[in-house]
Structure 1
């Protein structure tokens, strides 16, 4: 205990360096000039503070935070709110030549090297959870199954989860608790009445789940999630740290608005 090099930055400065990194994406060299230290000192500070921010979880009230998907499901069941899920992709650097998993990061949707996280918000767009990342080639529905969403909805409280077409199939596995857009019953020569009904149902569903898109947009405003140029191993902690900070900001803004 106490061995190793001593910090040249107090904790407040280390926290500030990590926040600037996440929010604005300033390089380590720039921040090293600001604080008058070596680049390696900034790297060490960010690597120490980032996991601490990720472990805080998402704030839903001044004294309550959600850290796991199970806690999110219990919260939605207790409050009667509707949850909304969606996957978001973050561009990363391509693995080096010769890596056996080099192609697993290629997204089938965007045809780019990326990692994917599942975002959960409530029906007001407040971020409740961001999952650890998976390679971009992982399908949205597969990612949700790996996170145990089907099991949590089967044994947990009765909740409603809105999702897009990438999660079609979860509704049957969860007893209808995951609601996805309607299927097209006619692939060819569909009657006019069916097309009109299908478009009306699809737009109604889309208007209900648009809040999660707003939540993801707020996440992507943080420069660290616009495009990640660092090590992919840090992406899970980065996503969860940003989600926790954003949720805290959303609750603070909402509390301030109520007081006014």
Structure 2
């Protein structure tokens, strides 16, 4: 029997959330796996936090969580999937807004740390692991950046202009997305302010070093990454440079367009991967704190890759 001060969503409401994939974006089987995996980590971290601070009473005394873990997880999933505000979720779950804020704040980092699932029980968390996986499996990687609009920093704040995107002239953050040739999502980087150039971000993440020191891997990228090919011995493949900027011969234009379209056709899978990420409304336009964006996009990437792997496994079993 759950204590009276612990608030739980009714069994019917919880069953409706879990059973309808449109609400969380995840199947009931994947949610069950999340509960079994993340629940013990959440409890362990919560206990460590209680034991680490100076105390005047025993560990476990004082106010308790108003939501059991599964309801905290469901609240975080609905928030990430639909971008629902904490006020709306508080009304739905019958608790105070601060309770939802605390629940999402505790669950989101745990989801972000899981990494991307590429097979049952196999996760990739770092760029080095992704390059190693692509090399060992003989797969081609596809690299691209994506921007997510965020709130403008307050007037007078230091480095206020660094969030302005040179491409869209809007306040945003940028993340690097890497998929394989089949569109699976093995890596999503932490975010950077949008003023960071496309080519600078992978350099900061160590892509050049991983490619030159690691196994032979082909990475397809767009024109924003031109220059990495020379640094990686041709392992980063970008569209061809335009040799004639003025009055090009007709034969050259035809060849150039053919090469450019062929490269774009090979890269299209990464655009699909980014589109699937943006279907999670928390990434369409972020209205919360910019400091949470890295955890948010990496949590969504991990959840999306987990569901994609589970769906692919089910289809193969059939």
TM-score by length of 1: 0.99
Once structures 1 and 2 are overlaid, which stretch shifts more, 5-14 or 65-74?
A: 5-14
Matches within 5 A, 1:149-188: 149-188=207-246
Larger Rg: 2
2:158 is matched with: 100
- Aligned-residue offset at 1:143: 0.5
Aligned counterparts of 2:159 and 2:288: Cα–Cα separation in 1? 18
1:179-237 Cα shifts (integer Å, max 9, x gaps): 00000011112111111110000000000000000000000000100000000000000
Name the residue aligned to 2:293: 235
State how far apart, in whole Å, the 1-side matches of 2:69 and 2:301 are. Answer: 21
Residue 114 of structure 2 is matched in structure 1 by 56
CA-CA distance at 1:36 after TM superposition: 1.2
SS at match of 1:127: coil
1:247 matched residue in structure 2: 305
What is the alpha-carbon distance in structure 1 between the residues aligned to residue 216 and residue 107 of structure 2? 37
Which residue of 2 is the match for residue 71 of structure 1? 129
Q: How many residues align?
A: 260
How many angstroms does 1:5 deviate by? Answer: 3.4
Task: Select the residue among 191, 198, 206 that pairs with 1:148.
Answer: 206
Looking at structure 2, the residues matched to 33 and 88 of structure 1 have their Cα atoms a distance apart, in angstroms, of 33
Out of 8, 14, 21, the position equivalent to 2:72 is 14
Is residue 38 from structure 1 mapped to residue 88 from structure 2 by the alignment? no
Could you tell me which residue of structure 1 aligns to residue 264 of structure 2? 206
TM value normalised by structure 2: 0.81
Task: For structure 2, list consecutive stretches of 5 or more residues without a partner in the other structure.
Answer: 1-50, 52-58
Q: Where in structure 1 are there 5+ consecutive unaligned residues? A: none
Which of structure 1's runs of 4+ aligned residues deviate more than 6 A?
none
Two-structure CA RMSD over aligned residues (Å): 0.8
**Residue 283 of structure 2, aligned match among 216, 222, 225:** 225
Is residue 86 from structure 1 mapped to residue 144 from structure 2 by the alignment? yes
